[in-house]
Amino acid sequence: MSKNLRQAFKINPNGIKPETVPCKTLRTGDEIPAVGLGTFGSDRFSKEEVADAVLGAIANGYRHIDCASVYMNEPEIGEALKIAMEGGVKREDLWITSKVWNDMHKQGDVLLSCAQSLKDLKLDYLDLFLMHWPFPNYHAPGCDGDSRNPDSRPFSVEEFMATWQQMERLVDMGLVKNIGTSNMTIAKFNEVYDLMRIKPSINEMELHPHFQQQELYDWCIEHDIQPIGFCPIGSPTRPDRDKTENDTVDIEDPVIVAAAKRLGVHPAVVCVKWAVQRGQVPIPFSVRENEYMSNLQSAIDNPLKDEEMEAIAKIDKKCRLIKGQVFLWEDADSWEDLWDLDGKILGYNK
């Protein structure tokens, strides 16, 4: 973390007032700010750059920070959070999320993962703890997109529920206030939802104008699960291993560009506005102050018109950007096998 930023931290009186940022109320009654700051550096930004962005964002009005152990920057973010709280930001005004990584699903490991994240983030509790992926398939950080772990295997209800029950215990222990899922499908939810003692408050999922996941989004809303949307602007800085020649670019779509021109903003801002107005909680990532501030400001003023929202609803390309191919088991055919496209879980036998 830059020494000047650390020493000079103070809440910017000219920043966005946190109380003006709308919130979504969860099944627990807790309120989550409608825009968060993502912290996955996409292999392109250093831990220090991400931590500096967190501190700068908090100084200027952000209160929702989305973290994960696998991003390998929680100790640095923890320093930023400590400085912010020592500088006058109340812990209860922050919303901090972390996630258990796939290699920590075994019995007892979820508690260890949560404890490590709490230690690294310098917190006594987490507002939200997510199961990052619904299976224990693991890959080494930064591995090639074609890598396969011989221990990877299809989804298992028994393995999922063993992990989920450990997460429920974290709530019982007071270490986390809400638990949730990520990268789920309706087919997987249908197998486990009724087995859950504590239902998920959140499902974090890829959501942007070219990948709207309307059916899964509606399923979550119907079951009182708040969607959080990652890649809300189409993740132009995602790792190269997650890019394919058939990927589309949301911020170049004529519908998005036209709305941006009317508002006099960057097309990325339109994507964030659409997310907030639709109802999910976007968590865009940026280390640049002008970008992360315009993302937060987008939730406050100059909404999209109804006709613009209707037009964006029609540009869904069903273009998944984070395909998860590194989690495939050895005899799987393609990344599509992870996502239950025909409503059936490949390789799962009841």
Q: Which two tokens stand for residue 317?
A: 């390309």
Percent of the chain with pLDDT over 90: 87
Residue carrying the six token digits 């087919």: 187
- H helices of 122-253, in order, are 157-172, 186-192, 214-222
Strand 31-33 to 37-38 pairing: unpaired
Instruction: Using the CB atoms, write b or e for 66-81: b if 16+ within 10 Å.
Output: bbbbbbebbebbbbbb
Per the annotation, the verdict on 125 as an active-site residue is no
Torsion of CA 318, 320, 324, 326, to 10 degrees: 110
pLDDT tens per residue, range 153-178 = 999 999 999 999 999 999 999 999 99
Average pLDDT for 125-137? 97
pLDDT per position as a tens digit, 50-70:
999 999 999 999 999 999 999
- For residues 67 and 72, give the distance between their C-alpha atoms in angstroms, rounded to a whole number: 9
Based on the number of CB atoms within 10 Å of its own CB, is 271 exposed (0-12), middle (13-18) or buried (19 or more)? buried
pLDDT score of 6 more than 90: no
The domains of the chain, with CATH numbers, are 3-236+245-338 (3.20.20.100)
Predicted TM-score (pTM) of this structure: 0.95
Token pair of 164 as six digits: 């989920």
Q: Which of 71, 138, 217, 292 is catalytic?
A: 71
pLDDT of 69-109, one tens digit each? 999 999 999 999 999 999 999 999 999 999 999 999 999 99
